[in-house]
Structure 1
Amino acid sequence: MPRPLRVAIVGAGPAGIYAADALLKSEVAADPGVSIDLFERMPAPFGLIRYGVAPDHPRIKGIVTALHQVLDKPQIRLFGNVDYPTDISLDDLRAFYDAVIFSTGAMADRALSIPGIDLDGSYGAADFVSWYDGHPDVPRTWPLTAEKVAVLGVGNVALDVARVLAKTADELLPTEIPQNVYDGLKANKALEIHVFGRRGPAQAKFSPMELRELDHSPNIEVIVDPEDIDYDAGSIETRRGNKQADMVAKTLENWAIRDVGDRPHKLFLHFFESPAEILGEDGRVVGLRTERTALDGTGNVKGTGEFKDWDVTAVYRAVGYLSEKLPKLPWDLGSGTVPDEGGRVVEEGGTHLRSTYVTGWIRRGPVGLIGHTKGDANETVANLLADHAEGRLHTPSSPEPEAVDAFLAEREVRHTTWEGWHRLDAAERALGEPQGRERVKIVEREDMLRESGA
């Protein structure tokens, strides 16, 4: 009797779980069957949703419900707190599995090469997100002494950072933020948040719903300068061909023509301002210099040579995430991704790296919404199954599931399981119950391991 197809997925965020779901829905899952092991370096699953989505986004976090249903399937096992390649290498994985899918995502900040970027008070948005989302591997405190703050970038991460900085701690208390984050935000001095985009309203990468959410807080006054509402032929074409871009532009237009109200925290959305330099004094941020830009007819912009200095004492760059290079895999330094064809990993000479696949942001870069990784996963899994049908996958030497358990035990790797997640989930919900909150996130890795029964 043929054995089930054995697949390892490295990374238990949405991309990895969507890949597991695609495998379970395939014909192979029915005959001869499929057996999937998810390896996650964090003690808990769900990746970006747990550690990359702002805590006041319950709608997005609701995706966890669907992911839960996938991980509940008996064909899937979770191995949390297992790091690739420290705890298990590609050669190790090949000994146990017919194929390996990497879905490790992107959690680092993309660099921004302007003078002053390394000054004290200049931060990467990803680091701030990790702090307020209770990532176990980052410091427990965050300096929030600046009264005037700049955020560079016009994507959803920039909006998340600006909104968390502009809201009060008590507004965020009903969410799952841990006590250390609430205490930090309670001491936050920020009264003015300035968000800067190099191009115009039609080129902003906000999603319409997230943009409108800025205006829902009773403490945040969103302000748009009417002079920043400008379109050229390329911008008009973008609006006509992209419903979301048109909705974003309309929202910004409405905000630009209304009177400024009296909410205590001001959040300014600036367009046509390209960051040129972070200004410093005694090693600390004392301002931001931008160059005014102008549309060139195509939707792109060019510099005007007109500069302006902004009075801010903290700068957050939200210009994109960057994936971490994976050992033993080829790497495209420019895009920060693993080269692939349809999810098949491609080596420098153009040949496919046998039985090795990628999906999600490690494959195509950190673009799109969480749900967009589902299409990625479907394509990658379809090609993996085609390779399986054609006999192009390698044969593992130890395909028995218990061989993995024995390997981790021999290496003394302290790992969590799906059952352990249910215990951690219950512990976090129990912490929130006395306060009428859905949960309070447990932050320390050791505490997470203990509650998970690792």
Structure 2
Amino acid sequence: MPRPPRVAVIGAGPASIYAADILTTAHPGASVDVIERLPAPYGLVRYGVAPDHPRIKEIVKALRRTLSKDGVRFVGNVEYGRDLKRDDLTRFYDAVIFATGAIEDRELDIPGVELRGSHGAADFVSWYAGHPDAPRDWPLEAESVAVIGAGNVALDVARMLAKPADEQLTTEIADNVHAGLRANRAKDVHVFARRGPAQIKFSPMELRELSHSPSVDVLVTEEGFQIDEAGQAAIAASKATRLVVDTLLKYLEATPTDAPHRIHLHMCQAPVAILGDGRVEGLRTERTELTGDGRARGTGEYVDWDVQAVYRAVGYRSSHLADVPFDHVGGVIPHDAGRVLDLDGCALPGLYATGWVKRGPVGLIGHTKSDASETIASLTADLDGLVPAAEPDPDAVTEHLAAVGCEPVLWEDWERLEAHEIALGEVAGRERIKVVPREDMLRAARGASD
């Protein structure tokens, strides 16, 4: 290619920003537009992390450096498939990287999931994280709640349901979320894992944080606390697994403090049905036993739990993008080392994928970086064979967006919105207060927040 590459990255979460950083570092003259449908960047770091996890949000500092560097342009409030279609992108860019992540709940195929009071964890996370597309209110009438899942999202959901709302006032929690949590009636939150303590997917830090609130007791049920041969091997092979099991043992042996809220951790309990007539009135689980190879099987013994709400934290799933091949079984874009493949398994020139939409919703930040490196390596290897964009001038994109009635939020606009959130926080003695309604976000981004 006779000039530096001009590339669009769809999505503004960590995967897309790492891809932009790696590409512009490898090719100093490259021009990358990070295109995001929301008015704010950072994806699940902003809208998938609980407000009381500021340490995890430290990653924003590194992401911010990339979005503010030369050669990278943030273009927010622009929706792929509506404001920009695939044919538009191939007109303005030499290559397109899809990095839209995974924001939908993976389905749980048991009876009763449709009952009122049965919630997908991703929807609840979007609400408490202040996502502009989430409802402003959330039903929190249940005194006893079930959380199905054995990962960190399940722990976040349980902690947010059990922890008193006023303990969140040191965070960026949105006003409507704080008001909703203050009305929360939950006293007992039951977390159910299908396998044992050595197979559970909690991270040690997340598990320890459950007990940081003086208003919450963490109780581990002794029944189901099974460690088989595979579990012993996992403990010996992984420091993280060992720390998780040690923490669970401490909770198991701890004396309850009679705190007003309780999180109960149940292992070797598989959900089989959500019970109720029109709304959730209970959860039925089947006791399981470990089989020695890291798996579990049902015992035919069932337990009914008296709960009035169920949260399904069984994983995320990516969404199908317009005019882009999609594996509906795996929930990912089919690819070869990041090159998007068509239905015949052939690479589509100039189209790439990275992040969860490429590999599925697994792995931590380190995996995301290595994943982006693989995709950029493929793009770099293909550069000489790419069809150059017909209209590579950066102004061509913004002129097109204006013509279709779209007003993008650029980096300087986001900085105004961010300054507005920080100013709101200063008044309340907090670092920031997140603005939730999209129209309010856009007003602040345009400098018209007053």
Equivalent residues in 2 for 1:54-453, closer than 5 Å: 54-281=50-277, 283-388=278-383, 391-453=384-446
Q: Secondary structure at the match of 2:211?
A: helix
Tell me which residue corresponds to 2:22: 22
Determine the C-alpha separation between the residues in 2 that align with 1:56 and 1:124. Answer: 21
Q: Deviations over 1:168-200 (max 9, x none)?
A: 010112111111111100000000000000011
Q: Deviations over 1:118-176 (max 9, x none)?
A: 00000000000111111111210000000000000010100100000000010112111
Paired residues of 1:272 and 1:294 also in contact (CA < 8 A): yes
Counterpart code for 2:438: R
- Give the drift of 1:258: 2.1
Determine the C-alpha separation between the residues in 1 that align with 2:142 and 2:161. Answer: 10
Paired residues of 1:6 and 1:34 also in contact (CA < 8 A): yes
Paired residues of 1:55 and 1:176 also in contact (CA < 8 A): yes
Determine the C-alpha separation between the residues in 2 that align with 1:249 and 1:387. Answer: 46
Paired residues of 1:11 and 1:39 also in contact (CA < 8 A): yes
Paired residues of 2:223 and 2:267 also in contact (CA < 8 A): no
Q: Compare 294-303 and 229-238 and name the one that shifted more.
A: 229-238
Determine the C-alpha separation between the residues in 1 that align with 2:100 and 2:237. Answer: 33
Paired residues of 1:432 and 1:439 also in contact (CA < 8 A): yes
Counterpart code for 2:22: A
Q: Secondary structure at the match of 1:19?
A: helix
Tell me which residue corresponds to 1:4: 4
- Give the drift of 1:256: 1.1
Paired residues of 2:225 and 2:268 also in contact (CA < 8 A): no
Counterpart code for 2:122: A
Determine the C-alpha separation between the residues in 2 that align with 1:242 and 1:85. Answer: 43
Determine the C-alpha separation between the residues in 1 that align with 2:254 and 2:444. Answer: 51
Q: What RMSD, in angstroms, separates the aligned Cα atoms of the two structures? A: 1.1
What is the TM-score normalised by the length of structure 1?
A: 0.97
Counterpart code for 1:105: G
Unaligned runs of 5+ in 1: none
Determine the C-alpha separation between the residues in 1 that align with 2:343 and 2:309. Answer: 42
- Give the drift of 1:352: 0.5
Tell me which residue corresponds to 2:13: 13
Determine the C-alpha separation between the residues in 1 that align with 2:222 and 2:279. Answer: 32
Determine the C-alpha separation between the residues in 1 that align with 2:106 and 2:385. Answer: 36
The one of 40, 55, 66 aligned to 1:44:
40
Q: Compare 244-253 and 272-281 and name the one that shifted more.
A: 244-253
Determine the C-alpha separation between the residues in 2 that align with 1:410 and 1:327. Answer: 21
Unaligned runs of 5+ in 2: none
- Give the drift of 1:371: 3.7
Paired residues of 1:287 and 1:309 also in contact (CA < 8 A): yes
Determine the C-alpha separation between the residues in 2 that align with 1:384 and 1:2. Answer: 16
Paired residues of 1:229 and 1:253 also in contact (CA < 8 A): no
Aligned residues: 447
Paired residues of 1:156 and 1:206 also in contact (CA < 8 A): yes
Q: Secondary structure at the match of 2:272?
A: strand
- Give the drift of 1:264: 1.3
Q: Deviations over 1:205-234 (max 9, x none)?
A: 111111101011111100002233211111
Counterpart code for 1:221: D
Paired residues of 2:224 and 2:269 also in contact (CA < 8 A): no
Determine the C-alpha separation between the residues in 2 that align with 1:346 and 1:240. Answer: 40
- Give the drift of 1:353: 0.8
Determine the C-alpha separation between the residues in 1 that align with 2:224 and 2:217. Answer: 17
Determine the C-alpha separation between the residues in 2 that align with 1:45 and 1:52. Answer: 12
Determine the C-alpha separation between the residues in 2 that align with 1:405 and 1:342. Answer: 31
Paired residues of 1:166 and 1:220 also in contact (CA < 8 A): yes
Q: Secondary structure at the match of 1:228?
A: coil
Paired residues of 1:80 and 1:415 also in contact (CA < 8 A): yes
Q: Secondary structure at the match of 2:102?
A: coil
Q: Which runs of 4+ in 1 moved over 4 A?
A: none
Percent identity for Structure 1 against Structure 2: 57
- Give the drift of 1:370: 3.2
Determine the C-alpha separation between the residues in 2 that align with 1:227 and 1:405. Answer: 61
Q: Secondary structure at the match of 1:223?
A: strand
What is the TM-score normalised by the length of structure 2?
A: 0.98
- Give the drift of 1:2: 4.1
Paired residues of 1:226 and 1:257 also in contact (CA < 8 A): no
Determine the C-alpha separation between the residues in 1 that align with 2:304 and 2:296. Answer: 20
Paired residues of 1:54 and 1:129 also in contact (CA < 8 A): yes
Determine the C-alpha separation between the residues in 1 that align with 2:249 and 2:263. Answer: 16
